[in-house]
Structure 1
Amino acid sequence: AIPETVKSISVLDRTKEPGALGEPLYMDVVNAISDKFSRGELKFNYPKIIGGRYGLSSKEFTPAMVKSVFDNLDNENPKKRFTVGINEDVTNSSLEFDPSFSIESEETFRGKFYGLGADGTVGANKNSIKIIGEGTDYNAQGYFVYDSKKSGSMTISHLRFGPKPIKSTYLITTPKFIACHQNVFLEKINMLSEAVEGATFLLNTKLSIDEVWDSLPETVQKDLIEKKMKFYVIDAYKVASETGMGVRINTIMQTCFFAISNIFPKEEAINMIKDSIKKTYGAKGDKIVQMNFDAVDKTVENLYEVKIPGNVTSKLQLQPAVSGNAPKFVMDVTAKIIAGKGDELPVSKFPVDGTFPLSTTKWEKRNIALEVPVWDVDTCIQCNKCVMVCPHATIRAKVFEEKNLNGVPETFKYTKFKAKDYGTDMLYALQVAVEDCTGCALCVDVCPAKNKKETRLKAINMAEQLPIREQERENWDYFLQIPDVDRKKVNVAKVKDSQFLEPLFEFSGACSGCGETPYVKLVSQLFGDRTIIANATGCSSIYGGNLPTTPWATNKDGRGPAWSNSLFEDNAEFGFGYRLAIDKHNLQAKEILKKLISDIGDDLVNDLVNADQKDESGIYEQRERVETLKQKLNEIEKAGANGKSNDVK
């Protein structure tokens, strides 16, 4: 029942109905009021009814946005059709709101935890909610934000708990506690900008307590000082290594959280964590449980509070999400999404037809590997097995002539090529894209070469990424400008030679050490410039066709795989449809060629129709013929097609 005092109604729909007079709930309200009015049963004056959209594609809907809806309704001339939470600058239907407006209780704890996919951060926070919910009278809530990269991308956990019921069905914007579980995030994201005064910041870093302050960007230091925050650090990976936990830092960071948040007395919190560990890992055996217990105890010993100086001393600036060399669309749209600010993008920035460019993963430079492969030139036997097995195409090899060496960086490595397949006096280089590497170490595992002086070492070995990042970035850029080997000369039947071909599938969002992507990459190397892919839904469609970046790439001629995924269609049928269409187009092209044989010439038509395209040479020659055909068709069109214009086009 609607109160008789109502004068205005604002109806919110979480959908968009193109072509309809209005969204479903809005139309229901209008029809209900109109029906009552037409029958004379309405007990009040016909109200003003407006409609709007909210929450589309998981857009936030906060109290500030609710307030803007009421503010709009209160206007003398409100927007009749509006959107809220969307920067709709095409039809200007969006309502403005004050992001700082909040109704959250001061008694409610609000924490944000920044982790790396697969490091255990999300699982640890879910466990924390369970501990708090079961061990106290507090109400608890958790939201977890992560993209569909299988692992290795940033995750953000939003935790709330407090004595009052929590009805905040939106993400945290004013945290009292912020934890950064991966130091690399601080280089690109100002995660302290939202922190309230007196908030606590926890950082996982390899740096000592004396070094960490000078390593922070200027904006981070400024926020820590001006907001009078508390600052704690721990080397969680060191603790994990010493206690046999590998790279799983979830238990360690969870212990840090309870140790400094003062939700429980420290001893009580540790006992509760250990009880939780027993429940979670008990089925995996006493050894796993004890390793986690050791990690908890060791954490308390290695957690330090950093005294915050009174002045900003850093000149370090936040790094841009992508380099300044990126194309305009990548700079304007993709970079924003990579930086976690995609929600701020206006509608006008998005392509009308929904198409996004290829070859965009190369701009991400995630820098998520703590250790990366380093090539030992003298030990290497040039087998290219490391290149073959690399899941993310971050290790590349090239064979080239000495004349291609111009302006070589001081630390760039190369050596004489041992084989004679591509001529005499050729050079060989193996290069790693350290900023794109995920640190899986499969290359080290597969390497057959042993260092004779130190047998524990191979021709490729893992080393810390940070000290060599700058020099290897320069080396990678230089390596890319060295010409690729002539595809026609490559013996694709050999693993070694196939890896001199340019991969057109690179830096995907697949898990570190993925076993699928080396095969996908190999397909792109062997056939990529002419491949048409029907991709079934699963891992390969997620790491292969996801936003904001795409690993499928094009070569210098603009050729690359044509890719599509049909979620609700049998993929075998989907791919078969591809085949039928290609065969039909091929048949049509041959029929048209024969109709134009007098204009084009017998020899060219016969060569095109009967071309042998079984190898790279045959394909190259056919492409040369197609270019010749295009020139002839242009000449025919200019001279007048004589009734054959449709065929010529």
Structure 2
Amino acid sequence: MPQFVAALPKTVRTIAVLDRCKEPGAIGDPLYLDVVAALREAADAGESAFVQAPRVIGGRYGLSSKEFTPAMIKAVYDEAVKDQPKNHFTVGIVDDVTHTSLAVDPEFDIEPDDVKRAVFFGLGSDGTVGANKNSIKIIAEETDNFGQGYFVYDSKKAGAVTISHLRFGPRPIRSAYLIRKANFVACHQTEFLDKYDMLDFAGPGATFLLNTPFGPDEVWEHLPREVQQSIVEKNLKLFVIDAYKVAKDTGMGVRINTIMQTCFFAISGVLPRAEAIEQIKKAIKKTYGKKGDVVVQKNFAAVDHTLAHLFEVTVPGKVTATRSMPPTVSDAAPDFVKRVTAVMMSGKGDLLPVSAFPVDGTWPVATTQWEKRNIALEIPVWDAALCIQCNKCAMVCPHAAIRAKVYDPALLAGAPATFKSIDYKAADFKGEKYTIQVAPEDCTGCTLCVMVCPAKDKSNPKHKAIDMTPQLPLRESERANYAFFLDLPEVDRTAIKIDVKGAQFMQPLFEYSGACAGCGETPYIKLLTQLFGDRALIGNATGCSSIYGANLPTTPYAANRDGRGPAWNNSLFEDNAEFGFGYRLAVDKHIEQARELLAALAPTVGENLVKEILEADQSNEAGIAAQRARIASLKAKLAAKKEPEAARLALLADYLVKKSVWIVGGDGWAYDIGYGGLDHVLAQGRDVNVLVLDTEVYSNTGGQASKATPLGAAAKFAMAGKSMPKKDLGMLMMTYGHVYVAHVALGAKDAQVVRAFQEAESYPGPSLIIAYSHCIAHGYDLAYGLDQQKLAVESASWPLYRFDPRRIALGESPLKLDSGAPKIDLGQYVRNETRFRMVEQANPEHFKHLLALAQREVTNRFAVYEQLAKITMPVKVAADAATETKES
């Protein structure tokens, strides 16, 4: 304290103290109070050199990653010199509620001209961020320049915008804030022209690089008016390249990062072109070398083909566009979505005032439907004439972007001219029409629907009932078709036979998430919401499923037309089982209270109605619907009553409709960090359902090994190949005897998955479903994820089974194997995945040893399962067990 006071110049009149924290309830934030106390104690001790003590004002900055720029620092100085400065202020937000914020001049800039600044807008998972990190390394290591990079992106797994801020110059760069005015702006995705004001970052005379399918002679007429105006007014140079064409021609798929990186170096001139290309190739070899020489050579080819497709555009001297940027969301969106969500979606959320945010912290659901990301270059197109109406395409779609409906033919009146329908073939909805429809602007182009489609044209086997077609020419017509499709009534749930086909006639209440294209987890969550979503309570462990499940500004969980949908929440990583168990305890207590109140009010509301509610069979959709009708009747009667008990029962009555409690998370949670809690909860015998989305790695945090990682696979912390076998979570839980356990893989046997979900939910005790979920961390194109799941099952690396304690009472083995003995060697499965191949490439002999161990472990484990599946209990013991289960 004395040293701090002594260090202050005697001429100081005002001290502005900035805290990067908030202490609710305190009279000031920590550093502010320290400064005030130091000055006062120094004065009291006679150690202060000030004739008049400096005035101290305090403020907050930078909370929740808010920017802190030179303009904000200037605002603090401007405030400090006032005769009556504001104390306990904020800077960096717009506080129009308590009016604490300082005004900031957005045009104030102190960056020197000799520091070059570049801003890149990329698409999540296209490699832009990684390429720009390499660019900074190249510039810093191969030139006399110093470099700096900041990277901004949200928590979507793929398909969101990423913004890279690169600086380089002759001195060390200490600008700890994002670029406001750049010399170079790159747009790596044409669709961003209609979504983001990218050229707001461009300074006068800057260069704008655009990835677009339109050539240099036609691109100008395809630019929105606002973009043309910025180019003309700021005198920008415009370059274009069709990077996706280059990527496709060189076998890179949709990875355009090295192509756009080559363009940057060619245009910027920071290095001679030949030297830049040489350094890019060095970085490619270092970055992708472990993935094999094929990947490296494809990247080399992409770099070599780039400059021939890069063109400078002659910019007209005037704006000629007839169209403007469309609104961020449709006019049909709710008011809150237009006022708040849309602003965040456009990248301007920092400009929202405090008053815009919900007072109670609640946010609307089903908001992903307004994003319309348009990230798929190609989308599936349905050939009705070939379709066998299996609904498998809808079943595997990770984003609920392809759907099936049956409906009355009369509803086709007013359908768009391009809307497709055919007669429904099966007897359950005889006489109705059938449609498979894609959401063109929500599809991610993963191709899983095409891969799973079994219907082929006999004259042209490459043509299926679902094929990929360029999206842009179809966008307008398919947008209208999808809107019409959504307006068709949902199929009556009570009339649906619940199997693979029937489940896809149920409305998904998890849609258009930010998961990776081809994600292996989301089809299971989508199915859960289709089967039970209108009465589900979901506790979600932190991980991929919580990130794409509820990240601002949008959420994929939705409600049906009756306003019912999953009640979803996320606590922490480690306590999710306990958190979900709390759901169960709370629901059971509410049910207990509701039943007591209902019995007490029976003379008032009707003995027969009470009896029907208390004894209701809610084992199927018809039973659930009937119970809801009874509850509606009950609430109508309660509304006319004045007793406090009636009001209390009215609040609790909906709990008398069966609730489905689910605990969802990944293998990092279930096998590792949350295992203790999971084991404890399943041991309690209460009616909870656990879904483990097993990617065999910590997917969300970057691919670290978990106890679910198989023997021989490389992952962070096990780069030489994991030396121990995968933990057998299913076997461990089966030893309790009272836990329903299913081991499933959608790509191998989808019917078993649907059956397992139904059995688990109907089981009146704890249930555990362990679901194989292919993942980008496995290191292959996820278009082949379903094929890999089949190979995993055929090699017995992932046996399919269902352990149902209810079978014991029938004198049957509780364990039923749904897959057979190994059909292929383990190597045929694992060598398709980089996580195994990289171990073999690094040390073939070591991998050979690990593979032999893994093969032995897989073979032995399946042999144990085969023996367990043959075990039955004596009939009397089984009957006693059934009686005990019923009594408990």
TM range (shorter): over 0.9
Amino acid at match of 2:333: A
Q: Secondary structure at the match of 2:264?
A: helix
Q: Which residue of 1 aligns with 2:241?
A: 234
Distance 2:610 2:294 in 1: 73
Match of 1:160 among 167, 181, 190: 167
2:601 is aligned to 596
Shift of 1:296: 1.1
Residue correspondences, number: 644
Residues 528 and 245 from structure 1, CA distance in 2 versus in 1: closer, same or farther, beyond 3 angstroms? same
> Which residue identity lines up with residue 255 of structure 1 in the other structure?
T
Query: What amino acid does structure 1 have at the position aligned with 2:438?
Result: V
Q: Which residue type is aligned with residue 592 of structure 1? A: L
SS of residue in 1 equivalent to 2:526: helix
> In the superposition, relative to structure 1, how do residues 568 and 294 fare at CA in structure 2: closer, same or farther (>3 Å)?
closer
1:135-146, aligned counterparts within 5 Å? 135-146=142-153
Matched, 1:469 2:475: yes
Q: CA deviation at 1:642?
A: 8.8
Q: Distance in 2 between matches of 1:51 and 1:477?
A: 53
Query: Would you say 1:533 and 2:538 are equivalent positions?
Result: yes
Q: Deviations over 1:574-626 (max 9, x none)?
A: 11111111111111111111111111121111111111100011111111110
Specify the alignment match of 1:545 in structure 2.
550
SS in 2 for 1:587: helix
Matches within 5 A, 1:124-523: 124-422=131-429, 424-492=430-498, 494-523=499-528
Give 2:80's aligned residue.
73
Contact preservation (8 Å) 1:174, 1:195: yes
Q: Deviations over 1:180-217 (max 9, x none)?
A: 00011001222112311110010111112221111011
Contact 1:384 1:499 (C-alpha < 8 Å) held by counterparts? yes
Moved more, 266-275 or 136-145: 266-275
Structure 2: distance between partners of 1:56 and 1:294: 45
Moved more, 237-246 or 118-127: 237-246
Unaligned runs of 5+ in 1: none
Distance 2:245 2:157 in 1: 25
1:64 paired with 2:56, answer: no
Structure 2: which 5+ runs fail to align?
A: 1-6, 652-888
Matched, 1:627 2:632: yes
Q: CA deviation at 1:5?
A: 1.2
CA pair 442-586 structure 1, distance change in 2 beyond 3 A: same
In the TM superposition, 1:554-633 aligns within 5 A as 554-567=559-572, 569-633=574-638
Equivalent-residue separation in structure 1 for 2:518 and 2:328 (angstroms): 25
Matches of 2:645 and 2:231 in 1, distance apart? 76
Aligned to 1:10: 16
- 1:110 and 2:117 matched: yes
Is the partner of 1:197 in helix, strand or coil?
strand
> Partner residue of 1:51?
58
Q: Is the partner of 1:134 in helix, strand or coil?
A: helix
Instruction: Describe the SS at the equivalent of 1:254.
Output: helix
Hey, what's the Cα distance between the residues in 2 that align with 1:467 and 1:330?
28
> What amino acid is aligned across from residue 450 of structure 2 in structure 1?
V
For 2:96, the aligned partner's letter is D
Sequence identity (%): 61
C-alpha distance in 2 between matches for 1:136 and 1:82: 44
* Shift of residue 568, structure 1, vs aligned partner: 5.3
Distance 1:65 1:645, change over 3 A: closer
1:224 shift after superposition: 1.3
TM-score by length of 1: 0.98
User: Could you say if the C-alpha distance between residues 72 and 182 of structure 1 is closer, same or farther in structure 2, counting changes exceeding 3 Å?
Assistant: same
Quote how far apart the aligned CAs of 1:371 are: 0.5
* Alpha-carbon shift at residue 285 of structure 1 (Å): 3.5
Aligned to 1:334, the other structure's residue is in SS state helix
> Shift in Å at residue 569 of structure 1?
4.8
Letter in structure 2 aligned against 1:570: D
- Bigger relative CO (Cα 8 Å, ≥ 6 apart): 1
Kindly tell me: are residues 644 and 137 of structure 1, through their superposed partners in 2, closer, same or farther at Cα, counting changes over 3 Å? closer
What residue is the counterpart of 1:100 in the other structure?
107
1:120 counterpart residue number: 127
Q: By how many angstroms is 1:277 displaced? A: 2.1
Deviation of 1:507 after TM superposition, in Å, equals: 0.5
Give the counterpart letter for 1:306 in structure 2: V
Q: 1:128 to 1:647 in 2, by over 3 A?
A: closer
Query: 1:189 touches 1:318 (CA, 8 Å); kept in 2?
Result: no
Q: Which amino acid aligns with 1:517?
A: T
Q: CA deviation at 1:245?
A: 1.2
Match in the other structure for 1:37: 43
The structural deviation recorded for 1:556 is 0.6
Aligned-partner Cα distance in 2 for 1:107–1:6? 34
Kept in 1, the 8 Å contact 2:179–2:201? The answer is: no
State the 1:225 CA deviation. 1.5
Deviation at 1:646, TM superposition (A): 5.4
Q: Which amino acid aligns with 2:26?
A: A
User: Which residue matches 1:25?
Assistant: 31
Kept after mapping to 2: 8 A contact 1:400/1:427: yes
How far apart in 2 are the matches of 1:275 and 1:568? Answer: 39
Q: Deviations over 1:273-329 (max 9, x none)?
A: 122223223333433322222111100111111111112111121111110110011
Letter in 2 for 1:343: D
Task: Work out the CA distance in 1 between the residues paired with 2:19 and 2:149.
Answer: 25
Deviation at 1:453, TM superposition (A): 3.1
